Each structure stands twice: as structure tokens, then as C-alpha cells.
């Protein structure tokens, strides 16, 4: 079980001390192609093309601008909803349903445990929820990440082979298998990952096909709803590939409803051709949030964020680069100290138990390991600040 709060933190109302949370530091310069407006008393600027925005005093979670569109999931930030959905995806189906329905007051659609034919087991899990049972405004899909003591999950992660997927480029074959790859055919993408749902035995749904079916049903049921997809770690990798497969199969009706793709601690999943394919076929900008130097994939240890342009990479793109070894050990000590005492500054909700601190201590043996915890991504969303990109 992942320790920490399960409640969603509402957006701050009327300003106050919470305005510092995920504060946009600095203001993007207004210019051609930019639209000015107001949020309450505060001026903001939104880049019509890129969706980047800046404000001197409004928290990013309150602005809710992603890809140039205003996102407000009732009274909650889209970042708050996605990071918490990515976090609780590690729990069992009953726990997830209880939290979604009774704590968050969202509508729980279903939990799906999906089959990996190459492993011979149900290795891929995800859940779907909507903000309301009727006339919903958003459909959220959250993929589960790597479970620490699940060797089948780890076998998916460490399978570093690439598979050619035609126009989609080369993609991490372990992640493709987790989504429902049929054949390891690097020359025929239609054979490797056909558009039509393959025949599957009862009780053995394939992740991509099952979730595509559920998403279509929900978007049809809720004509005004848009789609948000999220996940942490391995879940983030599956999130990155999911819309690419939709594009490969010409599922434009679903892609037209796609509002946000937000991943946390996502490892790399494809080559430059894959990246170019996504940019050309998907109209939304995929947001990859990375904390420190995790084993999978930028917020620093004090939750000060840096916006990296499309095509850029984290400050330490190679986990095995010895030049970063000393700083990674230093970060591990810093995170352990912060985990023990952060509650004294931020309140009891940020107190960490013995298991969490023991996990952080493991980072002293395997640097970067503790930086991959969903807890730090939740803290980064709630406590972090990120500098607005300059025009």
C-alpha cells in the first residue's frame, strides 16, 4: 500500500497562502499570437500556439491551462487529479473504487486487469473514472506503474528491445507487449498491432483494445466530455504509447476529444521517429513530469520546477552517467532528511511513516531509486513552483 493522503486537494479560493503552490514564477512576454485575459484580478497570457501561460501571482493549478485550453475538473486541478489517479492506481480494485466514489466523489467506471500473452499473465492494470455519472465533462484513464515486488512488471521494464512499428517508428517492445502486442513483427505494424480487436479468451482482455472500447463507450455516453490519460512509471510509458496507437489506427474521433496526456516518472518509450509521429498526429502537447534523477526518466529536491521545451530532456538524461553519481547520492541524503522533517513546515499531511523513510533510505544504496516514488510527484504538484517559459 502506498502511504499518504487519498483526498484530492481543492483549488484555493480567493487567494491566500495556497497561492504559492505550483506558482508560475515570472511572466511570459505578451506578443504576436498571444491572447490576454484575466483570472479574477490577475492578468495572464496564453500562447495560442503552444498553450504556455504565465502569471505573476496565480498558481498553475488555479490557471489550469494545458495546450491553450482551460481545464478545471470541478474544483480540482487537472494536475492534482492526474497525480492522485496515477498514485492510487497501485492499489487493488476495491480500494480504488472506494476512494473514487466515496472520497473524491467521482464516478467509477471500472478497473481492468489485462492479459500479456508473452508473459502469460494479467500484468497490465488500469482504471477509468468520470467526474460525474451523467453529462460528465472528463473521462480519466489511469495506468498502473511498476509494482516494486512484481517480477513480471520488472521483466516488462528491463526488456530493452525495440520493435519497428511502421510510421510510428521504433518502440520499446516490453511496453508494446503490456498493451496487447500480437506478434513481434518489426516489418508489418498491422500484423504486430492490428486495428481490429484480436480474438481473446474470456477473462483475458488486452489493455489497448479493452481501454479503447471503454473510452469510446464513455465518450459516446458523455458527448461533452474530453479525455485525460495519466500514469506513473511503467504506467506513464503505456500512457505515452496509447494515443500513438490510436493515431496509428486512425481513431481520430477519440483523438479529437483528447484534452491532456500527463505522465509522472515516465521512461523513454520510442525513437525520434516515434516522437515526430506523435507531434504530427496528436494535437495536444504531452506533459512529462520528472522528479530529480529517477531510475525511469524535472523537479529538483525543493520542488522547484523547470519547463523543458519539446525535444529537450532532463538535466541528467543518462542514469548511468558517472558524472552525476555524487550529486545523486547527495540528493538521496537530502530527500531522506526532507522526508523526515517536511511535515514540520507543511503540516501533518506530509508526515512520512517508517516504511516511506525506509524506502528513501534505499536511495543511499541505489541512487535515484527513492526519487521515483509517487509521493514526491504528489508533493511536487502541491508544493512545487515552475518557471514560466520565456517567449
CATH code for the domain of 221: 3.40.50.1820
280 or 57: which leads in pLDDT? 280
Q: pLDDT tens digit string along 144-165? A: 986 655 555 545 445 567 888 9
Asked whether residue 229 is domain-assigned, the answer is: yes
State phi, psi for 139 to the nearest 5 degrees: -110, 125
Asked whether residue 253 is domain-assigned, the answer is: yes
Q: What residues make up the domain containing 208?
A: 64-289
- 27 within 8 A of 52, measured Cβ to Cβ: no
Q: Which residues of 95-121 are buried (b: 16+ CB within 10 A; e: fewer)?
A: ebbebbeeebebbbbebbbbbbbbbee
pLDDT of residue 345: 74
The length of the chain, given as a count of residues: 391
* H/E segment holding residue 107: strand 107-116
On the question of pLDDT at 277 being above 80, the answer is yes
Percent of the chain with pLDDT over 90: 31
In this prediction, residue 199 has a pLDDT band, given cuts at 50, 70 and 90, of confident
pLDDT of residue 161: 78
pLDDT of residue 147: 67
pLDDT of residue 52: 37
Asked whether residue 148 is domain-assigned, the answer is: yes
pLDDT of residue 220: 97
Reported as half-sphere exposure (CB side, CA atoms, 13 A), residue 248 has a value of: 26
Q: Give which of 54, 57, 74 is closest to 17, Cα–Cα.
A: 57
In this prediction, residue 65 has a pLDDT band, given cuts at 50, 70 and 90, of very low
In this prediction, residue 290 has a pLDDT band, given cuts at 50, 70 and 90, of confident
Domain count, the chain: 1
pLDDT of residue 93: 95
On the question of pLDDT at 249 being above 70, the answer is yes
Q: Give which of 89, 69, 50 is closest to 226, Cα–Cα.
A: 69
CA angle, corner 10, sides to 262 and 98, nearest 5?
75
Q: Which residues contact 154 (CB under 8 A, 6 or more apart)?
A: 146
On the question of pLDDT at 310 being above 90, the answer is no
- 228 within 8 A of 78, measured Cβ to Cβ: yes
* C-alpha distance from residue 255 to each of 22, 111, 215, 218, 261 (Å): 28, 22, 11, 14, 11
298 or 361: which leads in pLDDT? 361
Asked whether residue 134 is domain-assigned, the answer is: yes
Asked whether residue 124 is domain-assigned, the answer is: yes
Q: pLDDT tens digit string along 338-378? A: 777 777 777 777 777 777 778 777 777 776 666 677 888 88
pLDDT of residue 316: 59
CA angle, corner 234, sides to 231 and 235, nearest 5?
25
Cell (9 digits) for 100: 473514487
How far is residue 233's CA from residue 288's CA, in Å, rounded to a whole number?
A: 11
Q: pLDDT tens digit string along 210-241? A: 999 999 999 999 999 999 999 999 999 999 99
Q: What is the mean pLDDT of residues 187-211?
A: 90
On the question of pLDDT at 192 being above 60, the answer is yes
Least confident among 56-65, 137-146, 260-269, 304-313: 56-65
Q: pLDDT tens digit string along 362-372? A: 777 776 666 67
pLDDT of residue 323: 67
User: What is the torsion angle, in degrees rounded to the nearest 10, for the CA atoms of residue 150, residue 371, residue 267 and residue 237?
Assistant: 60
Q: Model's pTM, two decimal places?
A: 0.75
How far is residue 6's CA from residue 178's CA, in Å, rounded to a whole number?
A: 27
Cell (9 digits) for 101: 466514489
Asked whether residue 234 is domain-assigned, the answer is: yes
Asked whether residue 353 is domain-assigned, the answer is: no
- 75 within 8 A of 11, measured Cβ to Cβ: yes
On the question of pLDDT at 203 being above 80, the answer is yes
pLDDT of residue 79: 83
Q: Residue 306's CB: how many other CB atoms inside 10 A? A: 14
* H/E segment holding residue 121: strand 121-130
How far is residue 368's CA from residue 321's CA, in Å, rounded to a whole number?
A: 12
Q: Give which of 186, 194, 311, 191 is closest to 245, Cα–Cα.
A: 194
How far is residue 89's CA from residue 18's CA, in Å, rounded to a whole number?
A: 27
Asked whether residue 241 is domain-assigned, the answer is: yes
276 or 59: which leads in pLDDT? 276
- Mean pLDDT, the chain, whole residue set: 73
Amino acid at each position: 500500500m502506498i502511504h499518504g493522503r487519498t483526498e484530492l486537494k481543492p483549488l484555493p479560493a480567493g487567494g491566500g497562502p495556497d497561492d504559492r503552490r505550483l506558482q508560475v514564477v515570472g511572466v511570459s512576454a505578451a506578443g504576436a499570437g498571444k491572447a490576454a485575459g484575466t483570472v479574477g484580478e490577475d492578468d495572464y497570457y496564453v500562447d495560442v500556439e503552444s498553450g504556455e501561460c504565465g502569471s505573476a501571482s496565480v498558481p498553475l493549478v488555479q490557471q489550469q491551462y494545458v495546450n491553450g485550453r482551460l481545464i478545471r475538473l470541478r474544483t480540482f486541478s487537472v494536475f492534482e487529479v492526474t497525480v492522485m489517479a496515477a498514485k492510487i492506481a497501485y492499489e487493488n480494485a476495491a480500494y480504488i473504487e472506494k476512494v473514487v466514489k466515496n472520497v473524491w466523489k467521482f464516478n467509477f467506471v471500472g478497473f481492468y486487469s489485462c492479459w500479456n500473452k508473452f508473459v502469460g499473465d494479467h500484468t497490465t492494470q488500469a482504471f477509468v473514472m468520470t467526474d460525474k455519472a451523467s453529462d460528465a465533462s472528463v473521462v480519466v484513464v489511469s495506468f498502473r506503474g511498476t509494482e516494486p515486488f512484481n517480477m513480471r512488471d520488472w521483466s516488462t521494464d528491463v526488456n530493452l528491445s525495440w520493435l519497428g512499428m511502421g510510421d510510428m517508428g521504433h518502440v520499446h517492445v516490453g511496453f508494446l507487449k503490456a498493451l496487447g502486442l500480437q506478434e513481434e513483427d518489426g516489418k508489418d505494424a498491422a500484423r504486430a498491432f492490428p486495428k481490429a480487436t484480436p480474438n481473446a479468451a474470456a477473462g483475458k482482455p488486452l489493455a489497448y483494445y479493452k481501454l479503447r472500447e471503454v473510452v469510446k463507450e464513455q465518450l459516446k455516453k458523455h458527448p461533452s466530455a474530453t479525455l485525460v490519460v495519466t500514469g506513473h512509471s511503467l504506467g506513464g510509458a503505456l500512457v505515452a504509447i496509447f494515443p500513438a496507437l490510436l493515431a496509428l489506427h486512425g481513431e481520430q474521433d477519440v483523438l479529437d476529444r483528447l484534452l491532456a496526456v500527463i505522465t509522472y516518472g515516465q521512461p523513454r518509450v520510442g525513437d525520434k521517429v516515434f516522437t515526430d509521429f506523435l507531434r504530427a498526429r496528436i494535437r495536444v502537447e504531452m506533459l512529462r513530469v520528472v522528479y530529480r534523477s529517477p531510475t525511469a526518466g524535472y523537479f529538483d529536491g525543493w520542488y522547484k520546477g523547470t519547463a523543458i521545451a519539446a525535444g529537450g530532456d532532463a538535466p541528467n538524461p543518462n542514469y548511468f552517467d558517472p558524472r552525476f553519481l555524487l550529486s545523486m547520492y547527495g540528493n538521496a541524503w537530502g530527500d531522506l532528511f526532507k522526508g523526515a522533517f517536511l511535515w514540520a513546515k507543511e503540516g501533518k499531511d506530509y508526515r512520512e511513516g517508517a516504511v516511506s523513510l525506509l524506502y528513501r533510505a534505499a536511495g543511499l544504496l541505489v541512487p535515484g531509486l527513492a526519487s521515483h516514488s509517487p509521493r514526491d510527484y504528489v508533493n511536487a504538484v502541491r508544493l512545487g513552483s515552475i518557471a514560466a517559459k520565456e517567449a
